[in-house]
Structure 1
Amino acid sequence: MKVLKFGGTSVGSSKNINQVISILDNYSKNDTIICTVSAVGGITDKLLLAGKQAQNKDTQFIETYNTIKTIHYTIIDELNPNKSTPIKAYVEEKLEALKSLLDGIYLINELSPKTSDKLVSFGELLSSYIIAETMKNRNLSADRKNAQDLIVTNANFTKAEVDYSTTNKNIADYFKAAPQHITIIPGFISKSADGEQTTLGRGGSDFTAAIVAAALKVDQLEIWTDVSGMYTTNPKLVKQAYPIASISYQEAMELSHFGAKVLYPPTVQPVLDLNIPIHIKNTLEPEAIGTVISNEKSPASSPVKGISNINNIALLTLQGSGMIGIPGFSKRLFETLSQEKINVILITQASSEHSICIGIDISDAENAKTAIDAIFENEIALHKIDPIIVETGLSIIALVGDNMKNHQGISGKMFSSLGKNNINIRAIAQGASEKNISAVILESDVKKALNTLHEQFFETKTKQLNVFITGVGNVGEKLVEQIKQQKQYLKDNLKINLRVIGLSNSRNMVFNEDGIDLKSWKEQLAQGETASLDGFFEKTKALNLRNSIFVDVTANKEVANLYASYLRQSIGVVACNKIACSSEYENYSLLKRLSLKYNAPFLFETNVGAGLPVIDTLNNLVASGDKIMSVQAVLSGSLNFVFNNFNDTTKFYDVVKQAAAEGYTEPDPRIDLSGVDVARKILILARESGVEMNLEDIENTPFLSESGLKSDTVDNFYETLINDEAHYQGLYASAKAKGCQLKYVAQFNSGKASVGLQEVPEGHPFYNLEGKDNIVMFYTQRYPEQPMIIKGAGAGADVTASGLFADIIRIGND
């Protein structure tokens, strides 16, 4: 003998009901089957809505009633195309009774718990009858038995308590003589000892099935739903969630209590003492393994078995210095809540006894505050305690697992991973059994929290990075293409799942929470919404994804001004834009502090040397205890390119134009040729070595002509290069006459910095620096005579993009 239960989704359409009938038919070939069914999906909610509308004198209840009627008639016709009339006759009779009940509620303007139980019972009575009669029409040995004839309860309407002695006898007596192979039983509904209709509370259909299974001592209870078992967490919020093959009764109850809606907690109780396994199965995928709930120990695996959550939580805090050392406050608090029939979901109390926090359903918050403030009215008036504090918009997340007990580091990993993603914890609770660690967080953070914890405890050390890129011009396009090329490599070898979630240029921006398909990103961006810097930030913040990284591939001051906003949201920042790190020292210092405070990486390797590891090397020297004595460097790939290609047979204008065309200069070449760009770079190196300095502190000796320095537009600047060719030829001639090369050199020594064009003699490390290469020489306490030298390409879209990519990977490896 087997007991099966099918939920509302499983019987929510004629297609699904046909699947249910097929499953029952197959089972009945080898066993006697008892099947508990819920109301057709959504009908219970519609019944309650109609009742509420009628109570409120809203004639819309008639329309809701007609919808209920249409849904059932449609299912009957689709299941029984040639034999629907007899079934419809019974259903019509029940629907008329339903209409009369709704009319009565409308007339007396009242919907009591007793009447509510009568109202919602129609759902299961109708679905069970339709399914049973359909099976008879198909010549199956099936019949319906009304659960109200079997399950006897007290008169606690809407959540009745079962009289197991009478109920078990009724069930055993009936099934001793029942001739049919398949018995359909409506779930959820019951009757009191004096014959009044009652219900078993939320999830009561599961409860009905468990009651029957326990009474008959069957080998296994099967609960069929629309998912393939209990998942590691909510699969609608975490796509990487997967079914748990086996789980203990206690773990199942903990997960169910904390929102895993596959199972209703009281379901477990009738079968728990009898050690009857519960098998969660998927109606739409009957071959799927599902989840078995039993007392058997599951194979050793992660100490955490699942992650769950409850939304719509209000946190109530009773606090005051008058509570310290005074017994009785807790007793009075919980007695008050009990008298108001308010369920407490979470409790936590500070060891100082100064405060007690409780989590309750938000629907009870107002009633709870009124009752608690009233019971403590005297203490509040005497300022011994404060009026109850109510916080809303909260949720509870919980780690659950039998093997968590005495397993070190679980709570540390939990809170550390949440903290790194700026998920603030309002309260924490952990029982002595150590099977559950719960935390109260903002409801808006639930999705990010579940994904963060699932990645930490269930995924094979693969870290998901969610990247938002602003500025997909020359360098940005190369970065996207590099990510596209290396995406699978990162996943396979570095265990980094890198997803581009947002892209923006000066015209459009596009987002995809599941990751933009990089095969067609240009087309998607072209069809995106109008770009906005604030809009891009707000969308990134609203998505609230774990391990989010904002990548700035612009030279835009307004973008740089938004770094602080991103960091405050625990969104990492990777930038090739030098403006922020070379801005006023107070702003630079603020960004550094925000990065530490909000656990948000702030990386800008490409600010100096494009893809060369200049800043990383400098940071490692400082972190290891070395001290920077001086820095000598050629830091402009564009200027090095210009002076390596400029001579007495070329024109300075043509060489600068070529550098711009090949992407070596900024869009405005004056930034490079004026020395401002190099000054920013040496400033950043000075600051990273620990010196407080601003841009105006750097001595900048310009080499441009006077008219070039005064030019007010890019076009005007290019005109000055043509007009002042003799000035630039003079610079070249002077260096050539001395056997020197022209190099634009940055220096930092003894707290002072300078930049300017120098005539470098043969034999100097800078003399043979070719093309667009950069070179940096660090003289330190450990490298006082022979400096540490970093040399390589210092400009170009590919190498700059690779530098940005390297910073992103650094965050992934953190």
Structure 2
Amino acid sequence: MKVLKFGGTSVANAKNISLVKNIIANLESDKTVVVVSALGGITDLLLKTAALASSQDQTYKTILKEIEDRHLLTIKELIPIHSQSKVLSKVKSELNTLETLLEGAYLIGEITPKLSDKIVSYGELLSSYIISEYFIVEGIDVVHADSRQLIKTNSNFGKAAVNFELTNRNITSFIEDSKNSVIIMGGFISSAVNGDSTTLGRGGSDYTAAIVANAINAEVLEIWTDVSGMYTANPKIVKQAMAIPHISYEEAMELSHFGAKVLYPPTIQPVLTKGISIVIKNTFDPEAPGTLITKNKNGQGKTVRGISHVENIALVSLEGPGMVGITGISKRFFEVISTAGISVVMITQASSEHSICIGIDNQDADHAVQVINDAFDIEISLGKIKPVVAEKDLAIIALVGDNMKSHQGLSGKMFSTLGKNNVNIRAIAQGASERNISAVILKEDVKKALNTLHEEFFEENVKQLNLFVMGVGNVGAKFLNQIQSQKKYLKEKLKLNIRVIGMSNSRKMIFDEDGIPLKNWQELLNNGEEANRELFFDKVKKLNYRNSIFVDNTASQEVSETYNSYLRNSISVVTCNKIACSSAYDNYQELKDLARQYNAPFLFETNVGAGLPIIDTLKHLVASGDKILKIQAVLSGSLNFVFNNFNDTTTFHDIVKEAQVEGYTEPDPKIDLSGVDVMRKILILARESGNVLNIEDIQNNPFLPKESLETTNNEDFFKTLTKHEASFQEMYKKALDEDSKLKYVAQFEDGKASVGLQRIPKGHDFYNLEGSDNIVLFYTERYPNQPMIIKGAGAGADVTASGIFADIIRIGNF
């Protein structure tokens, strides 16, 4: 069940009401409650009429005639002549009663809050009745509900408090008993338990809709107005402003408090308690998606969601040396303001206790000055407190967003942007929730300030990525060089500004909060402080930069064990280190879960195939609903290089040494030749396919002699290769005799994985694999016979660095 509310502009005239009818006619909901405001501008006219009548100014009759004409014209334009009689009769009768009430106000020369509520309620009473009759004529199954019979309040006329227990019972009972698919009722109006008409205060029609939505547990509350949602700024002032697709209740309340007129803050409360979504829609562009308002979005979306403002603000400051250390000053100050009925929009107080500054409405400024100076007359006469003065014609601008609390530097960015454009800031306030940063400026600077801030935070904004790089050897050095060479392209074409804030090798580490100059990073690093992984993490955490990324270019298990700490602090992790993703399954899964929980990507494309898009392709296959049946692959660029170059004219020792020098193997080549590296890679692919597997579950068929496998250092390892050269030559000769080639193959099928050296015959996809290339065959439900093949360079510092770079760009595009 839905609740739809249409504001005054949506029902301002017959043309607009016909648009509302089209929206209702196209609804698919079984039962819908439609709440409507008074015809556009009528409420203001009613208030004006009442004020004139109570001052015994007979011109109230002229305005009353205008009100009558507006309603009668609307009826005649909407409803065919043959159906008008009943509607005209009812409306004229109500207007006659209204006229009698106004005559009473004129005769006694005053208007009470009770009488004012009764008079002003006619706007919604008449509009809801006329619209319901029009819908009936148009064939819509509708019934008109008198809101006064359903929504019950106390007798606080002008802003009545709702009796929710009684109101909820009335609403649910009425809707359950109604057989009609559409119920139309007027917003804003209600009644006390004794039947006296009451109103719900400013924004009352929105509030009515929220009350109904709460009572019936509506699936959604739609508020239809004349704009396509809540905007990043006032579109009438900032032409480039855009509708915000999705915000939280809290963000919507902040924006509403600070001038976003499409929603009144108390509206949110009844639906907030039940988690009912709100959608702001445009009556004049119903296909536009509008703005969805829901519970907190858990850190998703833009840091700043909107820039709002309130005009006609005055600053009043209480200050003086006599305030310092004196208890009760603040209490007295705010009691005076409260007793005078003055609403405070903003508060700021210096930590020195020397002053308290409040923002209030311009129209309350003179009264505030008078009552405050009277209350502190003694302190002022003794020179302990300065006489209070008001600074008028100001405005408040505010940055709003749930995620602002987790990103430093926003205030500085806001104030520096304003300062560069000569916008003077008179006062600043930021709540503990850090959801709102407010500044008071001159009213005349509002347009310039809003446009300047919108340009800075929303228009063609270059996204800054802050990198913290661990490991600057072969791969790390190539990676830093690639960043340096592509910096201009990324900024111009992809709107990404990549900065390396920190870097470390095994000996030294450096940080530069403005970005490390990459032209001479080696020299800077050599002069850095002593490397320490814990201190490195502490520094990254303390800096708390937005879009922070930890980049691990090492093969260190100790470094891989720090990933969870980074992810828990919403710091993304990009790595070519395979240890974490091939560790115990629970650890692998925890890292994936942390990445989702803290919205910090954990990317490791280079774990398999260096720069080849193997893992990314696999993820897309699984995400699209395909199922992996079998994986066959040559995943070691180093082993492929070795066996492609090893023959009866070379030695196995020399070829492995060459592979190490070229950077194709790990620093410890036994990791590659023992099959451990390939085991890790096929394990990662199996896990990314959705399988629960550990390294010990993989069958390893080693080709190295036992003596080679048992060595503990590279020197001894290479000695054993020379010692067992004959056995390596024998392996080569057997393959040659069978017209085959030696390839180290990994396979996963039916939940089982294995790795080992195989003789590959001619015609096989692996046979012609050259150099250090990798190849992966994905057999899936969609590719059962002819597999999807990914092939290319699978080892080397350059391609590995480019894969890391690609993961960084992926994060930049998230």
TM-score (norm 1): 0.56
Instruction: Give how far 1:309 is off.
Output: 0.6
Give how far 1:298 is off.
7.2
Unaligned runs of 5+ in 2: 463-490, 496-814
C-alpha separation in 1, matches of 2:202 and 2:319? 33
Partner of 1:418: 418
* Displacement after TM superposition at 1:274 (Å): 0.6
* 2:41 aligned partner: 42
| TM-superposition CA deviations, 1:49-70 (whole Å, max 9, x none) | 1112222222221111111111
For 1:424 and 1:154, the matched residues in 2 are separated by 46
The percent of aligned pairs where both chains have the same amino acid is 57
Task: Quote the offset at 1:378 in angstroms.
Answer: 1.9
The letter of the residue matching 1:425 is I
The corresponding residue for 1:141 is 141
Aligned to 1:57: 56
- What is the distance in 2 between the residues matched to 1:340 and 1:157? 19
Q: Distance in 1 between matches of 2:308 and 2:288?
A: 22
CA–CA distance in structure 1, aligned partners of residues 296 and 405 of structure 2: 17
Q: What is the match of residue 25 of structure 2? A: 25
Q: SS of the residue aligned with 1:15?
A: helix
Tell me the distance in 2 between the aligned counterparts of 1:220 and 1:461: 33
Partner of 2:80: 81
Find the counterpart in structure 2 of residue 280 from structure 1: 280
Q: Would the alpha carbon gap of residues 182 and 494 (structure 1) be closer, same or farther in structure 2, given more than 3 Å must change? A: closer
Q: Which amino acid aligns with 2:201?
A: G
In the alignment, is the contact (CA less than 8 A) between 2:113 and 2:157 conserved in 1? yes
One-letter identity of the residue aligned with 1:124? E
What is residue 98 of structure 1 aligned with on the other side? 98
Task: Report how far residue 494 of structure 1 moved.
Answer: 13
> 2:188 touches 2:208 (CA, 8 Å); kept in 1?
yes
CA distance in 2, matches of 1:380, 1:187: 49
- Cα distance, 1:246 vs structure 2: 0.2
Code of the residue aligned with 2:39 in structure 1: it is V
The one-letter code of the counterpart of 1:46 is: L
Is contact 1:426–1:441 with CA below 8 Å preserved after alignment?
yes
Partner amino acid, structure 1, of 2:176: K
Superposition map of 1:389-428 within 5 A: 389-428=389-428
Distance 1:352 1:396 in 2: 24
For the residues of structure 2 that align with 1:455 and 1:128, how far apart are their CA atoms? 42
Residue 320 (str. 1) matches residue 320 (str. 2) = yes
Tell me, yes or no, if structure 1 residue 292 matches structure 2 residue 299.
Answer: no
SS in 1 for 2:96: helix
Q: Distance in 2 between matches of 1:375 and 1:14?
A: 54
Residues 566-592 of structure 1: per-residue CA shift (max 9 Å, x gap)? xxxxxxxxxxxxxxxxxxxxxxxxxxx
Q: CA deviation at 1:493?
A: 8.8
Quick one: which amino acid aligns to residue 168 of structure 1? N
1:492 positional shift: 9.2
Q: Partners in 1 of 2:54 and 2:419 — Cα distance?
A: 47
Residue aligned with 1:378, SS = helix
Rounded Cα–Cα distance in structure 1 between residues aligned with 2:251 and 2:162: 24
For residue 443 of structure 1, what is the aligned residue in structure 2?
443
1:439, distance to aligned residue in structure 2 (A)? 0.7
How many aligned positions are there?
A: 467
> Which residue of the partner structure matches residue 154 of structure 2?
154
- Any idea what SS the aligned residue of 2:437 has? strand
CA distance, structure 2, for counterparts of residue 287 and residue 266 of structure 1: 27
Q: CA deviation at 1:296?
A: 5.1
Q: Distance in 2 between matches of 1:452 and 1:101?
A: 51
Amino acid at match of 1:346: M
Determine the structure 1 residue equivalent to 2:346: 346
- 1:593-632 alignment, distance < 5 Å: none
Cα-to-partner distance string for 1:262-295 (whole Å, 9 max, x where unaligned): 1000010001111000011111111110000001
Which residue does the alignment assign to 2:365? 365
Instruction: Name the structure 2 match of 1:598.
Output: none
SS at match of 1:31: coil
Q: Tell me which moved more, 347-356 or 104-113.
A: 104-113
Q: Is contact 1:232-1:307 (8 Å) kept? A: yes
1:368 partner amino acid: A
The offset of 1:190, in angstroms, is 0.8
The aligned amino acid for 2:4 is L
Does residue 231 (structure 1) correspond to residue 211 (structure 2)? The answer is no
One-letter code of the match for 2:376?
F
Deviation at 1:341, TM superposition (A): 2.3
Query: Equivalent residue for 2:458?
Result: 458
Aligned position for 2:308: 308
State the Cα distance separating 1:458 from its structure 2 match. 0.5
Query: CA offsets per residue over residues 309-365 of structure 1, 9 Å max, x none?
Result: 111111111111110110111111111222222211100011111110001112222
- CA change 1:296–1:344 in 2 (3 A) is closer
**Alignment correspondent of 2:530:** none
Residue 443 (structure 1) shift: 1.0
2:250 and 2:296 in contact (8 A); partners too: no
- SS of residue paired to 2:209: helix
Cα distance between partner residues in 2 of 1:431 and 1:92 = 52
Q: CA deviation at 1:154?
A: 1.5
Cα distance, 1:297 vs. partner?
1.7
Other-structure match for 2:110: 110
Q: Aligned partners of 1:120, 1:450: CA distance in 2, in Å?
A: 36
| Partner residue, 1:168 | 168
Q: Is the Cα contact below 8 Å between 1:153 and 1:163 reproduced in 2?
A: yes
CA 1:193–1:374 in structure 2 vs 1: closer, same or farther (change >3 Å)? farther
Letter in 1 for 2:34: C
Mapped to 2, the partners of 1:100 and 1:393 lie a distance apart of: 41
Question: Which secondary structure does the structure 2 equivalent of 1:241 belong to?
Answer: coil
Counterpart of 1:740 in structure 2 is none
Contact 1:143 1:183 in 2 (8 A): yes
Structure 1 residues 366 and 246 mapped into 2: Cα distance closer, same or farther (>3 Å)?
same
Q: Distance in 2 between matches of 1:358 and 1:281?
A: 35
Contact 1:187/1:204 (<8 A) preserved: yes
Which residue does the alignment assign to 2:376? Answer: 376
Aligned to 1:535: none
* Contact 2:121–2:199 (8 Å) recurs in 1: yes
In structure 2, the CA distance between the partners of 1:408 and 1:283, relative to structure 1 (3 Å rule), is same
Q: Provide the C-alpha distance between the structure 2 equivalents of 1:379 and 1:315, rounded to a whole number of angstroms.
A: 21
1:357 maps to amino acid: C
Distance in structure 2 (CA, Å) of the matches to 1:190 and 1:339: 28
Whole-angstrom distance in 2 between the partners of 1:493 and 1:272: 42
1:246 and 1:298 in contact (8 A); partners too: no
Tell me how far apart the structure 1 counterparts of residues 66 and 337 of structure 2 sit (CA, whole Å): 39
Match in the other structure for 1:675 = none
- Secondary structure in 1 aligned to 2:98? helix
Q: Which runs of 5+ in 1 are unaligned?
A: 463-490, 496-814
Could you report, residue by residue, the CA deviation over 1:409-455 in whole angstroms, capped at 9, with x for unpaired residues? 10011111111111111110001111000011111111111101100
What secondary structure, in the 3-state scheme, does the structure 2 residue paired with 1:371 have?
A: helix
The Cα shift of 1:22 comes to 1.4
The whole-number CA distance in structure 1 between the counterparts of 2:119 and 2:382 is 49
Per-residue CA distance 1:732-757 (angstroms, 9 max, x = gap): xxxxxxxxxxxxxxxxxxxxxxxxxx
Query: Helix, strand or coil for the counterpart of 2:425?
Result: coil
In structure 2, the residue matched to 1:70 is 69
Residue in 2 that maps onto 1:132: 132
Which residue in 1 is equivalent to 2:516? none
> Is the 2:249–2:296 contact (alpha carbons within 8 Å) kept by the matching residues of 1?
no
Give, as a single letter, the amino acid of the residue that structure 2 aligns with 1:176.
Answer: E
Other-structure match for 1:800: none
- Alpha-carbon distance change, 272 to 23 in structure 1, aligned in 2, over 3 angstroms: same
CA contact (8 A) 1:302 1:458 kept: no
Distance 1:14 1:431 in 2: 45
Alignment check: 8 A CA contact 2:2 2:29 kept: no
